[in-house]
């Protein structure tokens, strides 16, 4: 049996979906309407006043189920500003400032994306290029903000003495990928990652291999959301940089200059105006 409260809920939901209106979630209602249109694009629009109550309830339940299934198959993109990560700010343009960490004076670099890092040991080997394999050792922490004068400590969630990653393939935490780009082999660096450059979507590494480590990481990330602050921190040592012999040249550190970009855009617009195929 469905309670009267549940019936009222589904009736209100069905009305909001039919009219394309939702006071509490306009975006969700619009998304669900779009899904309904795709499923029923061959059907003509029907006035809500002509739909029997039972049919409206069944339609609402069907739409909610379809929308839920779609969200599981195709999760919504994370709401995160990661601009400045594709074209990584180089350390030569990063701002630096002297700060005291554990009673020691250190130089903290801050890039345009908001990433901060501290060079603990300056390496003497090469820096990685996008498309290289990079071997690093790291320890991963979450540092929550101090709350009501109470200082929070680093909470370690993972460590790996030999982690191999394809640099720039989009499967690494954006802040970590940016932070190792200007390191040199043999160097050690503390990388302080703001939330917008952290675990902003699923499928990013590194993640702990075991269930307890993953549970701990998720718990710490949930805590960051709860207190609306904190950082993911990696202490990294760059062990080696390896050329990928199978690389097809899709990775490149260079980016288009503004003049080149404008020339390309003008060429595309001219081609479209002439009726040519782009």
Task: Pick the last residue of a domain from 73, 105, 132.
Answer: 73
Q: Which of 10-19, 168-177, 197-206 has the lowest mean pLDDT?
A: 10-19
Q: Does residue 273 lie within any of the structural domains? A: no
Q: Are residues 101 and 237 in the same domain?
A: yes
Q: Are residues 12 and 132 in the same domain?
A: no
Task: Pick the last residue of a domain from 43, 73, 103.
Answer: 73
Helices (H) and strands (E) in the chain, counts: 6, 7
The arithmetic mean of pLDDT across residues 165-173, rounded, is 92
Q: Are residues 31 and 118 in the same domain?
A: no
**pLDDT band of 79, cuts 50, 70, 90:** very low
CA dist 1 to 6, 53, 59, Å?
A: 10, 16, 18
The three-class DSSP label of residue 202 is coil
Q: Are residues 113 and 57 in the same domain?
A: no
Q: Does residue 160 lie within any of the structural domains? A: yes
Q: Does residue 204 lie within any of the structural domains? A: yes
Q: Give the domain CATH number at 117.
A: 3.10.50.40
Q: Does residue 270 lie within any of the structural domains? A: no
Q: Are residues 230 and 140 in the same domain?
A: yes
Q: Are residues 63 and 194 in the same domain?
A: no
Average pLDDT over the chain, rounded to an integer:
73
Q: Are residues 227 and 101 in the same domain?
A: yes
Q: Are residues 21 and 127 in the same domain?
A: no
- pLDDT at residue 72 tops 50: no
- Tell me the Cα Rg of the chain: 25
Edge to edge, what strands does the sheet with 104-110 contain? 95-101, 104-110, 116-121, 188-193, 231-242, 133-143, 155-166
Q: Are residues 69 and 96 in the same domain?
A: no
Taking the C-alpha atoms of residue 190 and residue 207, their distance in angstroms, rounded to an integer, is 18
Q: Does residue 274 lie within any of the structural domains? A: no
Question: What's the number of domains the chain is made of?
Answer: 2
Q: Does residue 37 lie within any of the structural domains? A: yes
The arithmetic mean of pLDDT across residues 238-255, rounded, is 80
Q: Does residue 259 lie within any of the structural domains? A: no
- pLDDT at residue 124 tops 70: yes
Q: Largest Cα–Cα distance of the chain, in whole Å?
A: 76
The arithmetic mean of pLDDT across residues 84-110, rounded, is 61
Q: Are residues 173 and 221 in the same domain?
A: yes
The three-class DSSP label of residue 112 is coil
Q: Does residue 98 lie within any of the structural domains? A: yes
Q: Are residues 58 and 127 in the same domain?
A: no
Range of the domain at 178: 91-242
The arithmetic mean of pLDDT across residues 185-205, rounded, is 94
Q: Report how far Cα 72 is from the mean position of its chain's Cα atoms.
A: 17
| Predicted local confidence at residue 223, as pLDDT | 93
Q: Are residues 160 and 42 in the same domain?
A: no
């Amino acid at each position: 049996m469905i309670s009267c409260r549940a019936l009222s809920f589904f009736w209100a939901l069905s009305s909001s979906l039919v009219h394309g209106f939702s006071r509490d979630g306009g975006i969700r209602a619009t998304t669900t309407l779009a899904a309904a249109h795709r499923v029923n694009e061959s059907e003509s629009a029907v006035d809500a006043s002509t739909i029997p109550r039972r049919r409206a309830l069944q339609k609402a339940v069907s739409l909610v189920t379809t929308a839920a299934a779609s969200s599981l198959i195709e999760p919504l993109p994370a709401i995160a500003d990661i601009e400045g990560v594709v074209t990584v700010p180089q350390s030569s343009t990063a701002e630096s400032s002297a700060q005291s960490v554990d009673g020691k004076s250190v130089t903290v670099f801050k890039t345009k994306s908001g990433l901060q890092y501290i060079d603990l040991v300056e390496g003497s080997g090469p820096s990685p290029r996008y498309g290289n394999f990079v071997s690093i050792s790291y320890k991963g922490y979450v540092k929550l903000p101090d709350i009501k004068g109470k200082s929070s400590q680093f909470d370690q969630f993972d460590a790996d003495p030999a982690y191999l990653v394809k640099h720039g393939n989009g499967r690494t935490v954006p802040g970590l990928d940016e932070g190792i780009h200007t390191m040199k082999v043999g160097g050690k660096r503390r990388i302080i990652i703001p939330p917008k450059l952290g675990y902003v979507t699923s499928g990013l590494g590194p993640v702990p291999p075991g269930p307890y480590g993953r549970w701990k990481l998720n718990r710490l990330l949930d805590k960051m959301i709860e207190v609306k602050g904190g950082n993911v921190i990696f202490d990294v040592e760059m062990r080696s940089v390896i050329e990928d012999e199978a690389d097809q040249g899709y990775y490149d550190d260079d980016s288009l200059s503004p003049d080149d970009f404008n020339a390309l855009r003008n060429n595309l617009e001219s081609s479209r105006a002439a009726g040519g195929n782009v």
